[in-house]
Amino acid sequence: MTTHLVWFRNDLRMTDNRALHAACEDPQARVMAVFIATPEQWKQHEMAPRQAAFIYQHLQTLQHSLAERRIPLHYHQCDDFVDSVNWLKAFCASEKVDALFYNKQYEINERLRDDALEKAVSSDVLCHAFDDSLLLPPGSVTTGEGSMYKVYTPFRRAFLDRLTESDSRSLPAPKARNTQNDVSLHRLTPFDFPQQSVGEDFPVGEEAARDRLRTFCRETVQDYLGQRDLPAEDGTSLLSPYLAIGVLSPRQCFNRLRTECPDVLERRDGGAFGWLNELIWREFYRHLLVAWPKLCKHQPFIEWTDNVSWRHAPQDLQAWKEGKTGYPIVDAAMRQLNDTGWMHNRLRMIVASFLVKDLLIDWREGERYFMSQLLDGDLAANNGGWQWAASTGTDAAPYFRIFNPTTQGERFDTAGRFIKTWVPELSHVPEKAIHQPHRWAEKQQCVLDYPAPVIDHSLARKETLAAFESAKRRN
Ligand code: FAD
């Protein structure tokens, strides 16, 4: 009897999992699964304890779902990738594994690890790697000269052409196996990692994720363009935590969208296309990461921006992290992040711009802090978002695009509903004054229990422009 081993990584789901599906194709094969946790590595990369908890919860449900199909899940904790390779090699030998199936991860260290593993087991184990976490694999959407696009809009155009030709069907979950296998459910040892619970906003499980996707595509997506920038509304899908650890696949998203909105590709001014556009941003940032591995090392895409003289301002950085900058929209957003592990996209742009362009603090500080808090932490999307906000990335807009945090608040949270949810100290401030509460307090001659602005936006703006100009000149 042949033995197939599925190595689960960032693909914690039964349905539409290409590696799992392929491993189960031979009905005679004994199929086993494995997950390797690397808490030491997670600590180094500042993974959010919430995200680790979310992974752990999903491993437990995965263990049950696999057991129902007579596939045992083995689980191991290792220090780092070198240990993972050694452990997996020994495991394959002891279980007489004939073939290993896994879905590719595209970050540089993960790719090096997989190369090392394939070499280490090459004489005994056949390795099958799948492109699974994207609609189209990196390297498949290129310019006429065969290189990766540096700008999003032409990438999207080419992407959509390729997408319509590609096979993006979702695969069903495998059926129960007939083969003998010990599937007794051992308790999975909790990760050797700081604990932090995941809030109720993000229920565990593939079914919960798929339900959310279905409801969103049926009920909300049509209004996406009008609602997606308003943090006080439930206008976005809240699916990012599931996509980030692979509880849901982008093909499932795309196919559900097509089922509910069959004209999504034709009606490009509609909400459904607007949502697909965001899924394509997700693809874009991953394709970039593979084409420019320096992004995995947190180097800027535009090299001269490394000359910017960032401020060393630990107190300001701390105020930003804690949501105590004195700018209500920034503070509300940071508190949402700290409390729930999720932040609305518009707010991510605002707080990132504030850290980099108002406080003139190195974008990598923000990138790192986000990773340490986000339930949907994802190297490619996070790095892409931060480099976009910092004007160090591929964005076509130049460095002098600087958000004004007050007018951003006025525009996207006009009545201050979102602010009042997260900054209760301002609950008594009238709507009209909510974005500049200190001015109002001055007029009222009252004292606010809320910090004064850490910085003057118009002065900060000038200093930032000067810092970028000088960095560019030094290039
Ligand atoms: P929806 O609006 O419903 O979008 C659907 C899906 O598309 C999302 O779940 C996500 O997978 C993807 N998506 C949406 N917007 C983007 C985008 N701009 N870039 C890449 N993918 C996108 N997203 C992450 O998943 N992980 C991160 O670590 C992350 N860090 C970010 C940091 C900054 C500074 C910025 C500006 C954006 C970041 N984003 C990140 C992108 C975006 O903010 C989130 O994906 C989005 O807010 C998730 O909410 P949602 O699922 O309701 O999104």
Of residues 87, 292, 310, 440, which has the active-site annotation? Answer: 310
Residue 389, number of CB atoms within 10 A of its CB: 25
Q: How far is CA 115 from CA 85, 94, 109, in A?
A: 10, 21, 10
- 125-154 pLDDT tens trace: 999 999 999 999 999 999 999 999 999 999
Residue whose CB lies within 8 A of the most ligand 1 atoms, among 214, 365, 376, 392, for a mutation test: 376
- 54-81 pLDDT tens trace: 999 999 999 999 999 999 999 999 988 9
Percent of the chain with pLDDT over 90: 93
186 and 66 Cβ atoms separated by less than 8 Å: no
pLDDT number for residue 79: 87
5 and 32 Cβ atoms separated by less than 8 Å: yes
Of residues 40, 46, 233, 278, which has the active-site annotation? Answer: 278
Stretch 266-271: mean pLDDT, rounded? Answer: 93
pLDDT number for residue 51: 98
ipTM given for this complex: 0.99
**Bridge pairing between strands 3-8 and 99-103:** parallel
Q: Which two tokens stand for residue 22?
A: 């392929």
- 207-234 pLDDT tens trace: 999 999 999 999 999 999 999 999 999 9
- 282-322 pLDDT tens trace: 999 999 999 999 999 999 999 999 999 999 999 999 999 99
**Binding pocket residue ranges, ligand 1, CB within 6 Å:** 228, 236-240, 243-244, 278-279, 281-282, 285, 345, 348-349, 352, 370, 374, 376-378, 381-382, 384-386, 389
- pLDDT at residue 253 greater than cutoff 80: yes
Residue whose CB lies within 8 A of the most ligand 1 atoms, among 278, 342, 383, for a mutation test: 278
Ligand 1 centre to CA of 345 (Å) is: 6
363 in catalytic set: yes
- 406-452 pLDDT tens trace: 999 999 999 999 999 999 999 999 999 999 999 999 999 999 999 99
Sheet holding 99-103, edge to edge: 73-77, 30-37, 3-8, 99-103, 126-130
Q: Where are the alpha helices (DSSP H) in 178-248?
A: 206-215, 224-227, 240-244
Residue 443, number of CB atoms within 10 A of its CB: 9
- 343-395 pLDDT tens trace: 999 999 999 999 999 999 999 999 999 999 999 999 999 999 999 999 999 87
Helix (H, G, I), strand (E, B) or coil at 67: helix
DSSP string, 12-56: --STT-HHHHHHTSSTTSEEEEEEEE-HHHHHHTT--HHHHHHHH
- 176-211 pLDDT tens trace: 998 778 888 888 999 999 989 998 999 999 999 999
